[in-house]
Amino acid sequence: MLNASLTELSAALAGKKISSVELTRLYLDRIHALNGKLNAFITVDEERSLAQARVADERRSSKGNAAPAGALTGIPIAHKDIFCTKDMLTTCGSRMLANFTSPYDARVIEKFAEAGTVLLGKTNMDEFAMGSSNETSHFGAVRNPWDHERVPGGSSGGSAAAVAARMAPAATGTDTGGSIRQPAALTGVCGLKPTYGIVSRYGMVAFASSLDQGGPFAKSAADLALMMNAMAGFDARDSTSLERPAEDYTRNLNLDFAGLRIGVPREYFVEGVEPDVAARVREAISWFEKQGAKTVDITLPNTGLAVPVYYVIAPAEASSNLSRFDGVRYGHRAKDYADLDDMYRRTRAEGFGTEVKQRILIGTYVLSHGYYDAYYLQAQKVRRLIAKDFADAFARCDLILGPTSPSTAFALGAKSDDPVQMYLNDIFTIPAPLAGLPGLSIPCGFDRRGLPVGLQIMGNHFAEAKMLGAAHRYQQATDWHQRVPKETPL
Amino acid sequence: MALTPEQLQRIARLARIAVGPAESQAVAGRLNQVLGLIDRLQAVDTGSIEPMAHPLDGPLQVRQRLRPDTVSEADHRAEYQKPAPAVEDGLYLVPKVIE
């Protein structure tokens, strides 16, 4: 049951082979057994989860006036601790919010509640989603289920590790510069960052508002599609939410490869990409060719500028967004201070960790008088060049395939002293959100150390169903996505 | 370009983050590494290119909505003040600002 797909779980619940309470209990026990080692969850509230499971069971048996059951009714889902959950801790991985109980639910949490899913717990993450290794969390690093001395990636490392170790059948995450796709790649699971504006950001703690987008983690592309059906949709409370008709993300799962053009960007197969990663990704691409897809050699010439652009724009937006943490309305407040200004300065010095402070300072600098044009406006101009690279590429191809990350999971502590080395590791996941484009990562094999390799599939705006279809067909012919880490056997 | 200790203190003041003398050098060191990375943008010729503020302003060209200027939310003051460090009579308490 722990390795079952959402479709199989849904059928088991509908066929009364298992109840939601039993299924939830199964996953809670698994979390109980593994979380001490992996640290994937920050908060687990068994009572609350089981109460929701009982409601789901009633809904499944259509007793009383319960809403009709949906595909996901009764299935437990883990949520990144960046989504506000009413009457429950929402820490965002920070000391600043270590005691923050949200007075309201994020739209994503509401949507999963409406679908009848059970909230299994809140997952660990890099502080305020700033990090690529999950080492910046105030609650400690998450361990990679495939090798406990390695990072799971970040910032949604807890969600990725939870799905990889089968502590949750699926989970939510957020992606600003790769925070869904990179941890999915490093832990051997599937993760989708949707087109900007598709998933509501209401109640999702803001990091960089022109980039942040929520999305799902799951064991397969078909499961990601079911998760998207629950997550996506217009929300008037998010000013960047797009008003579009509802989509069925499962509609294209059996995508026809005839005439499908796959762009292979030469900038994604360069020195610096681990040879095993490049080899596995090339093998996957040739599988698509054998099925009738046509590969097109494309170029995304400004790829090398994406990381510098991102480290101007994301910190600039973060410095503005995180100004709300001032010790007045919620969150940590320093105990000793001389006056109001001192209270702000000490509260923020104590409440934020090193990486978050560093990004706020960079953001403040690039927005400050005398530097705004040279850094911030210049970065926004280069951002347009990067978006144009993709627009030109998608005139010649339908999907872009390449590695999600240039490396497999690295050792804990290996990059934490060198911010630039850590940042450059996100070179292949940063471009898509700069252009607002969707991207997903699926496992496509292992390196010589037995660590998972991620294949990234990018598409044009709103191409999620097509991307999921390509991934699903690949997964029907391969079993990488069904492999379970040896250290956390079923 | 490298940040001087004075520049670092100026930014820290603007950001309302206390940076003590003991950590000043380490913070400046890390910031300078990042500034070295983002300085690569200076070499790009962006003469006639319009800045792109957000993805909807890219090829999608979607206009952001404006809602009607009417009251849409109920009063949640009591709930919203629950997580506050200090409140009294519906007001947020802060250190004395005016003598």
Nearest CB partner across the interface for B95, out of A104, A337, A383: A337
SS3 of B18, please? Answer: coil
For residue A54, count other CB atoms closer than 10 A to its CB: 15
User: B24-59 pLDDT, tens per residue?
Assistant: 999 999 999 999 999 999 999 999 999 999 998 887
What is the reported pLDDT for A476?
98
User: Is the ipTM reported for this complex over the cut 0.90?
Assistant: yes
- Any chain A CB within 8 A of the CB of B77? no
| Residue A47 pLDDT | 98
A174 CB-near residues (< 8 Å, 6+ apart): A80, A82, A129, A155, A156, A180, A204, A207, A212, A213, A214, A215
| Angle, helix A46-60 to helix A20-38, in steps of 10 degrees | 150
**Euclidean distance between CA atoms B76 and A4, whole angstroms:** 42
* A434-485 pLDDT, tens digit each: 999 999 999 999 999 999 999 999 999 999 999 999 999 999 999 999 999 9
Mean pLDDT calculated for residue range A139-161 = 98
3-state helix, strand, coil in chain A (%, to 5): 40, 15, 45
Q: Is A155 a catalytic residue?
A: yes
> Is the Cβ pair A242, B58 closer than 8 Å?
no
The domain limits of chain B are 5-43
Which chain B positions have a beta carbon within 8 Å of A344's beta carbon?
16
Model confidence, pTM = 0.97
Indicate if the alpha-carbon torsion angle A246, A251, A256, A261 is positive or negative. positive
A86-99 pLDDT, tens per residue? 999 999 999 999 99
State which CATH number among 3.40.50.620, 3.90.1300.10, 3.40.50.12240, 3.90.700.10 fits the domain covering A1-490.
Answer: 3.90.1300.10
Chain-centroid distance, C-alpha B31: 16
Query: For the segment A40-67, what is each residue's pLDDT rounded down to a tens digit?
Result: 999 999 999 999 999 999 999 976 566 7
B63 in A contact zone (CB under 8 Å): no
**Two structure tokens written together for A365:** 């600098």
Q: Positive or negative CA dihedral for A259, A270, A459, A450?
A: positive
d(CA A37, CA A142): 9
The H or E element that residue A187 is part of is helix A181-187
d(C-alpha A198, C-alpha A93), whole Å: 25
Q: Using a CB-CB distance cutoff of 8 angstroms, which residues of chain B are in contact with residue A434?
A: 55
The whole-number pLDDT of residue A68 equals: 83
**Catalytic-residue membership of A10:** no
In angstroms, the CA A335 to CA A320 distance is 24
B52 and A381 in contact by Cβ < 8 A? Answer: yes
Give the whole-angstrom CA distance, residue B23 versus residue B29. 10
Is the link from the previous residue into A416 a cis peptide, with omega within 30 of 0? no
Q: Kindly list the strands in the beta sheet with A261-265, ordered across the sheet, starting from the edge strand earlier in the chain.
A: A41-43, A118-123, A76-80, A170-175, A213-218, A190-193, A439-446, A452-459, A399-403, A261-265, A294-298
Residue reference for tokens 């989504």: A83
